[in-house]
Structures are given as C-alpha cells and as structure tokens.
Structure 1
C-alpha cells in the first residue's frame, strides 16, 4: 500500500471550508479512496483541548508567542498522533487548515516574524508538507458577514477587518509563490459553482496519480 495524500483547505473566515471538505471527501470515496477528515487546531483529544484554549474569548490579552506555541503544540500532537499514521496506512487526509494558517494568522495577522514560524514548522513537521493546498478565497467583508451570521464570534473572529485583510494577503502571496501546489478557488461564487470546482480539482489529483 502506497503513502496516502495530504490535502489541506485554507482560507479566512466564512469561506465555506467545512462544506467543501465534504465535497472533496465524497469525490475521493467515490473513487474508492479511504479518507480521514480532520482540522486544526485540533484533530486529537489533546489538540482539541488546546483549540478550546486558543479560541475562547477572554479578558486577559494573549501574547502572540503564547498563541504561536499553542498552535504548534496542538499541531505536534495532531501530526504525530493522527496525520502521519493515516498517511502511512495509505489513507488520504483532508485537513481544515494547517501550517499555512499559522503563516497567515500569526504571521500576516499578528506580525510574528516568518523565521520563528519556519523554525517551529521544521521542529514539529520535519520535511512533511501538504501535497496540495486548496485556498478558498473571498473578499474579507464577504467572509466575515457569513461567519458572523452563522455563530457567536470566537476570539479570532472578534478582530478588526484589517487583521483579516492581512491574512488574506498572506494566503494569496503564498499561493503565488508556489502555484503548482496551491489551488486558489473563488469562494465568493455560488455554492454550486465552488463545489463543482472542488470536485474537479480533487478529481484531477486522483487522475494524475492513477494515470
């Protein structure tokens, strides 16, 4: 059995990652591929507990270094406890956000130096990177309107629009720097259009592997 493939779904708030991950899962399962769906921060019981710490609104200011280290603590548990074992078993892993989100949120949004993120990325992941990154992109105002309509804002969603614009800019720059691995999808289009594009993208990945 060959190694599975690791596909991450990235984007700002309200871009529809959860819905599109399900579309991708359905597409892969119809092709006979065993799929694991997970998320970050989270994915294992301990990592989910760290997620709660990170997202809960609180009066105490959270230092950017505290936030960064908690993100990678959760990721270490997730990568070594769930993602790598699944890939080694031949399963395909679909993950709602991964390290690109750290570069975007903590790097672009908070201003954490890229070198600090790179150091922790190498420590936690070694050479492991997603095989494909699907970036669901939409104007910040569109995404935030959707996010605030669906639930009470978490600690991140309470930030100002400028914070999310920096995040979007960082995501798009990363995609531009590595166009073969990143796939940018216009998430402001209709649900049917976005879903069809996701199904086509994932189908292409499968076909390219199977010839």
Structure 2
C-alpha cells in the first residue's frame, strides 16, 4: 500500500514538472562573422557582395592553391607602411591574410613566405564545407550591421550555393580601389618575428 502511494506521488510530481528545454543546437560556424565583416568594411568600405563572400570563404577553406609566382608578385607591389602585416580571419583554425605590400616594407623575402604558403595548403573536407555554409548564413546580418544591404548579399549567396560555393575574384571596384595583394595562410606557420607582440617601452 505504501509503495502504491509513493508511486502516485512520484507520478503527480512528474506531471507537474515543467517540460525540459531542448539542448541548444551546436554552433556549426564557430567563427565571429560579425567581427570579420565589420573589420573588412571598416578597412575597405567599397566591399561588394563578392568581396564579403570571398572573405568568409578564405577564412574557412583557407589556402587551397599557391597562386601566381610569389617572387614575381612581390616585385610588382609597392612597399606600404600603413597596411597591417596580418589580418585575422578565422580565429578557430587561425587563417590570416598576409598583406604583400607590408611584407615588402618589412623586407620579408619571397622564399620565406612561400614556405608559409606551402605549409598552409589544405584540402577542405566536408566539415569545412558545412562550416562555410553555416558562416555564410550569418553574413547578410553581419553586412547589414556594417551598413550593407542584407537582401543584396543574400541573393548573391543563393547563387553561389547553387554552384557549391565556387572560388571567385574580388569585385572590379574592390580591385580598382584597394589593389588587393595578399596571401591567405595559417598563422601558426608564420615566423615568430611576424606574430610576436611589439616590445614594450619604459
């Protein structure tokens, strides 16, 4: 009898308990897309949908080809002190853009950077493609927060999705205004003199 009463009390308690909330969905992107897009627009306000797409794609997929001959490219760019040497992309895996004009300014060699590029080469797996799709879902809102038109970027991304997220070039205006010259690499392969914090004074 006592067991039956205890069972009834337990059932009543369970019936009155609030339903448990489902576990939050895992973050498939993992990258701060808002920060990434805001940084890019602050540096290059003429960025177009193609440039935002390329930015996120490079951040997630990383370098997949060495690109044109690095020594020849470095010979054609003018050294520039005002550009950052490194621009952070994906904080999860550590992809960065190395600006070649600044690389020349600090007298970095083509051979030294070529080693970094080759060590950073990757073949994107299915997990990386899933991350890319998840991060690109956040890009329109991030671009809108930076002053862009979310609907325009969303339409552009829909077209790229149909083509399985292909590689693209920077927009014509972006190339004309900013003359992009960089390599995407993994931060961990850069020499310490590039990634070390500046010395303190005093």
User: With structure 2 as the length reference, what TM-score do the two structures score?
Assistant: 0.26
Please state which structure has a larger fraction of its residues in strand: 1
Q: Which has the larger radius of gyration?
A: 2
User: With structure 1 as the length reference, what TM-score do the two structures score?
Assistant: 0.25
